[in-house]
A and B are shown apart, each in its own frame.
Chain A
């Protein structure tokens, strides 16, 4: 037992008193999404109104609290007033006065700014009653949207740094590692390696200089869980890192954040400064022998820097290219020293595991995957946004309960899960528990948790092409299979969506996919063929339709469309011929026109120009 210079319970009490003194708290989301929707103006307006009025219901003052992301970005700007049990959605600066006058002063909720359930068409007042929130279990994101992300007091009031204080008091690093091992937590960044094991391996090299590195180079298209944690609850991440550093014997750490996350960087910088001032970071933390200096390294936007060895190279000032493994970072990482590298969400789970215990954490999830996982739910669902659910939750629950089903009554077709490294799952997988093993078996992966829902109007070959284009552009170019293999896979996919593919191309595509998966140097290359392999597995017919029938079943691929003029409906007005950008339409005035298919670029301009709807697409 070590005596600390600070009693954390006293600190919590103090922090809570400060919060109580704020009066009525109006939480306005100021995550990146809501800021883009104008939340800063909303905040300003609220503050302006609050300053001029002194009598409010039950309170004599109100405080506007800018929070991190609530996850329900498409409904932004979100305004939460916990004491009044209300969540307002899609709030514009023009609405602020009404909320203030009617509800905050007048006590009557503003109905028109409440969330409308897409299934029942009813207004929902409390966020706990909104399906999107009601069906989630939030641990990593627990505080996001509920506290002022830039105030260390608010973090402390919700148990921030309590786990760190306990750990330092107990002064038993091995016990910390054991707790993490027992929790069953696995890496949330993509590969799903057991976190406790990683800690154990790194701790085995204790003695000299070691580092803790946080991988915040979130790059999957559409994924923003790490950004939300960094923006909404930065102290949780710092605390997780400090605990990790204590456990493995490190005294220095880096948070690698992509430069495209300026708000996250700003809030992290402030959080580090505040934590240093309160001695939760820096030298001799809370009066103990343990010191931990934390730096922020801004990434330059290369997707591959999310690969841990490339990330370390980037911190060292080298080009972000993956290095061969072994040696693993646990043995030889940053500046050739033992390095523990975990992703943001993984580290954000650490304080709560130590606070509530490994058992509590392991009680959530499945046999092989414990705890909760965040997903960035996007695509053709009614409710899009950031969610957190227990591991093993079925796809059906996510898409149809939390996501509120497919938009506009369309049919569910597939989900792409795990970003460009993941795979496509279909209707048959709707009841599959979402965990590492089940998804791997189905040819997909949890990855960082990107989840794109697709409806019947999505061309699956085009989806594969999209992701292949992404990985090809983001390949670091180091190893041959990834650099040249993905280039040729992309070329074949382009041929197919342009209606020029052959059945031999399909064989070549599969052959390449296997060689790239097997032969690539790093995780990026090894997983790059997944979207192709999984779509070939579940939607082979759709590929064949493109190749043999020259048809895109979803009607997406422009090259497969044919535009024809119905002779009997054409009045010979010449409008189509004048509109056509490539001169593919010929004909004389008052006589039916014709499209030269060899010249047509399928742009569809003629069809929209025709006043008689004589042009048909097939």
Chain B
């Protein structure tokens, strides 16, 4: 433990990675655009500059996000010199920015807007962006919108893509004031191997990268009396949406979400947790079959659409490893359209519109996969992210915080603890293990908590867990981020892989930290609290194993015979295609 001085007061510090964290711990906020605790410090925006006086009298001005704390230095965070730099940086960025704030997707959550207000910028002194300077907006994909005119070139997206996904979809191009961030050769996101995880958008401090909104589509469907709107909510939405209404991260608000959706006017409300249970029964069945009958191993989970697209674009030769199970979203939509009319009067395959609420931007892309069509129509009609639902609730004027909790509808509303933990990295594998154990041994696993699979922080992005299924040893590898997934793939390719099941979630920590969630990049603890919310619900639910879900048992009894049946395959399984276009990774 050492000490240093911040604005004249002495503070202790221990293992903080940089001066900025020490300053923040002291309760002083230093502005920054490019710093994110999960990413390598870059030092590009120059907003977090501070004056540091060393014991030998030397004074430097440097970015606090890139400086290691050193004992006895005197740090000043608000001298005239650093304030002038910050103000000039803001003025320069604003001059070069499309300042149509009111119509910007990021309005109200934009760091540039916030600092401009906080620093009292009232005048744009420098040469302003003109019509001719405006660059084309890229929204030619279902998930993300890239507006270069809002980009401040902090490089957070570039680093997120590289450091999380080991991918380089976005990069810097050109020099000087012509520098831009863009996909290779200025292509569209849809033209390159972007997996649409949306992490770039999650770390973007401005409106340069945003989620493509489907809020209007959802309103149109709700207001269209000829349509029956059926909505499903993914596991991790319930522990994050409250943050948009002043609730704590991790607080389970599922009852309030059901109530809000009903108030908005959705006709029936189901829960994707239910189909997470369904996914487990199918996936565990598939895994046990591969394990016992000599199928292709290791088997890869297939719930994460970003991961699926990564496999299709980067490793099409290994698609056989992917479980053929659709994701929970992908399973519930056709189940609703095909089977719901049996249970509810007035509902037909044709008049149902399925809306899903996801923590994920890639789910929008998944819903448009050609394999997920039925009778010429998409099985999932509209996908909204957590953030979009939050906005819809606000627009509807609903006092979310004070809503009385309600329940989901029958017959696809019941779920188990296994379904709910799908939202955190390791949750799918844990849920699958609980059911696979039962399928192999006919008994339930003694302890439902397989804690070695849990953990969503930076240090637990890759976990290896050995399970003993009554003498049969199974090694499960749990990874989050595609960078870690790629390492696992390389192990398979070079013959050193020792695992039989690989769970992959593309976002760091899993869906709780998904690209569609409210911003969680500034505080690494948020995703941990959300995950804790899911594990708490799991602990508290009466049923914690997917195969014991009464709605699932009934579904198989009445409609799908048994897990892995022909009927189940017809509705719940899918295929993958080779989408290799010559990866830039081949470039030497």
List residues of A whose CB falls within 8 A of some B CB.
Answer: 302, 304, 319, 321, 323-326, 472-481, 483-488, 491, 508, 511-512, 514-515, 518-521
Residues of A within 8 A of B68 (CB): 326
B515 within 8 A of A: no
Residues of A within 8 A of B88 (CB): 481, 485, 511-512, 515, 519
A481 touching B66, Cβ below 8 Å: no
Listed A/B pairs (6) with beta-carbon separation below 8 Å: A323-B43, A476-B175, A481-B46, A484-B96, A488-B126, A518-B61
Residues of B within 8 A of A475 (CB): 175-177, 179
> Within the assembled complex, what's the spacing in Å between the Cα atoms of A385 and B67?
43
A519 touching B89, Cβ below 8 Å: yes
Residues of A within 8 A of B43 (CB): 323-324, 479, 521
B176 touching A472, Cβ below 8 Å: yes
Partner of B46, one of A321, A323, A479, A508: A479
> Within the assembled complex, what's the spacing in Å between the Cα atoms of A327 and B171?
24
Using A324-B43, A481-B85, A488-B92 as known contacts, say yes or no to A473 and B125 having CB atoms under 8 A apart.
no
Partner of A491, one of B127, B171, B174: B127
If A475-B175, A486-B177, A519-B61 are given as contacts, then 16 extra A-B residue pairs at C-beta distance below 8 Å, sorted by A number, are A324-B66, A474-B175, A475-B176, A475-B179, A477-B179, A478-B179, A480-B92, A481-B92, A484-B126, A487-B96, A508-B125, A511-B88, A519-B46, A519-B85, A519-B88, A520-B46
B41 touching A324, Cβ below 8 Å: yes
Chain B: CB-nearest residue to A511: B88
A515 touching B67, Cβ below 8 Å: no
Interface string of B75-104 (1 = CB under 8 A from A): 000000100110011001101100000000
B155 touching A478, Cβ below 8 Å: yes
Interface string of B391-409 (1 = CB under 8 A from A): 0000000000000000000
Residues of A within 8 A of B66 (CB): 324-326
Residues of B within 8 A of A472 (CB): 176-177
Most buried by B among A304, A324, A473, A486: A324
Residues of B within 8 A of A512 (CB): 88, 126
Most buried by A among B46, B93, B95: B46
Chain B: CB-nearest residue to A484: B92
B172 touching A319, Cβ below 8 Å: yes
B85 touching A484, Cβ below 8 Å: no
Residues of A within 8 A of B152 (CB): 480
Chain B: CB-nearest residue to A303: B175
B500 within 8 A of A: no
B13 within 8 A of A: no
B127 touching A488, Cβ below 8 Å: yes
Partner of B84, one of A477, A483, A514: A514
B278 within 8 A of A: no
Partner of B177, one of A477, A511, A520, A521: A477
Chain B: CB-nearest residue to A487: B177
> Within the assembled complex, what's the spacing in Å between the Cα atoms of A47 and B12?
77
> Within the assembled complex, what's the spacing in Å between the Cα atoms of A477 and B181?
10
Instruction: Report the minimal beta-carbon distance from B40 to chain A, rounded to whole angstroms.
Output: 10
Chain B: CB-nearest residue to A472: B176
> Within the assembled complex, what's the spacing in Å between the Cα atoms of A511 and B80?
13
Residues of A within 8 A of B179 (CB): 475-478, 483
Instruction: Report the minimal beta-carbon distance from B25 to chain A, rounded to whole angstroms.
Output: 20
Residues of B within 8 A of A486 (CB): 176-177
B176 touching A479, Cβ below 8 Å: no
Instruction: Report the minimal beta-carbon distance from A66 to chain B, rounded to whole angstroms.
Output: 36
B44 within 8 A of A: yes
Chain B: CB-nearest residue to A515: B88
> Within the assembled complex, what's the spacing in Å between the Cα atoms of A325 and B172?
21
B211 within 8 A of A: no
> Within the assembled complex, what's the spacing in Å between the Cα atoms of A473 and B43?
21
> Within the assembled complex, what's the spacing in Å between the Cα atoms of A480 and B44?
7
Chain A: CB-nearest residue to B162: A318
Instruction: Report the minimal beta-carbon distance from B75 to chain A, rounded to whole angstroms.
Output: 15
> Within the assembled complex, what's the spacing in Å between the Cα atoms of A475 and B85?
18
> Within the assembled complex, what's the spacing in Å between the Cα atoms of A476 and B178?
10
B347 within 8 A of A: no
Instruction: Report the minimal beta-carbon distance from B206 to chain A, rounded to whole angstroms.
Output: 13
Residues of B within 8 A of A323 (CB): 43
Interface string of B41-74 (1 = CB under 8 A from A): 1111110010000000000011100111000000
Instruction: Report the minimal beta-carbon distance from A322 to chain B, rounded to whole angstroms.
Output: 9
> Within the assembled complex, what's the spacing in Å between the Cα atoms of A444 and B454?
59
Residues of A within 8 A of B23 (CB): none
Chain A: CB-nearest residue to B85: A519
> Within the assembled complex, what's the spacing in Å between the Cα atoms of A369 and B245?
65
B322 within 8 A of A: no
Using A481-B46, A515-B85, A521-B46 as known contacts, say yes or no to A324 and B63 having CB atoms under 8 A apart.
yes
Residues of A within 8 A of B299 (CB): none
B203 within 8 A of A: no
> Within the assembled complex, what's the spacing in Å between the Cα atoms of A515 and B87?
9
Chain B: CB-nearest residue to A481: B46
> Within the assembled complex, what's the spacing in Å between the Cα atoms of A324 and B18?
12
> Within the assembled complex, what's the spacing in Å between the Cα atoms of A518 and B51?
11
Residues of B within 8 A of A520 (CB): 46
Using A472-B176, A478-B44, A515-B88 as known contacts, say yes or no to A326 and B67 having CB atoms under 8 A apart.
yes
Chain A: CB-nearest residue to B70: A326
Residues of B within 8 A of A304 (CB): 175
A515 touching B84, Cβ below 8 Å: yes
Chain A: CB-nearest residue to B46: A519
Interface string of B456-468 (1 = CB under 8 A from A): 0000000000000
> Within the assembled complex, what's the spacing in Å between the Cα atoms of A418 and B96?
31
B49 touching A480, Cβ below 8 Å: no
Instruction: Report the minimal beta-carbon distance from B316 to chain A, rounded to whole angstroms.
Output: 26
A477 touching B172, Cβ below 8 Å: yes
> Within the assembled complex, what's the spacing in Å between the Cα atoms of A50 and B62?
64
Most buried by A among B88, B95, B153: B88
Instruction: Report the minimal beta-carbon distance from A351 to chain B, rounded to whole angstroms.
Output: 34
Instruction: Report the minimal beta-carbon distance from A558 to chain B, rounded to whole angstroms.
Output: 22
Residues of B within 8 A of A511 (CB): 88
Partner of A477, one of B41, B45, B85, B176: B176
Chain A: CB-nearest residue to B126: A488
Interface string of B315-334 (1 = CB under 8 A from A): 00000000000000000000
A477 touching B153, Cβ below 8 Å: yes
Instruction: Report the minimal beta-carbon distance from A498 to chain B, rounded to whole angstroms.
Output: 14
Chain B: CB-nearest residue to A477: B179
Closest 7 CB pairs of A and B: A477-B179, A324-B66, A324-B43, A484-B92, A487-B177, A519-B85, A515-B88
Instruction: Report the minimal beta-carbon distance from B180 to chain A, rounded to whole angstroms.
Output: 8
B172 touching A321, Cβ below 8 Å: yes
Residues of A within 8 A of B61 (CB): 518-519
> Within the assembled complex, what's the spacing in Å between the Cα atoms of A519 and B49?
8
B176 touching A481, Cβ below 8 Å: no
Chain B: CB-nearest residue to A489: B126
Instruction: Report the minimal beta-carbon distance from A594 to chain B, rounded to whole angstroms.
Output: 34
> Within the assembled complex, what's the spacing in Å between the Cα atoms of A478 and B96?
15
Instruction: Report the minimal beta-carbon distance from B241 to chain A, rounded to whole angstroms.
Output: 34
Chain A: CB-nearest residue to B175: A477
> Within the assembled complex, what's the spacing in Å between the Cα atoms of A483 and B400?
44
Instruction: Report the minimal beta-carbon distance from B91 to chain A, rounded to whole angstroms.
Output: 9
> Within the assembled complex, what's the spacing in Å between the Cα atoms of A324 and B20?
14
* Chain B, range 175-215, C-beta contacts under 8 Å to A: 175-179
Residues of B within 8 A of A483 (CB): 153, 176-177, 179
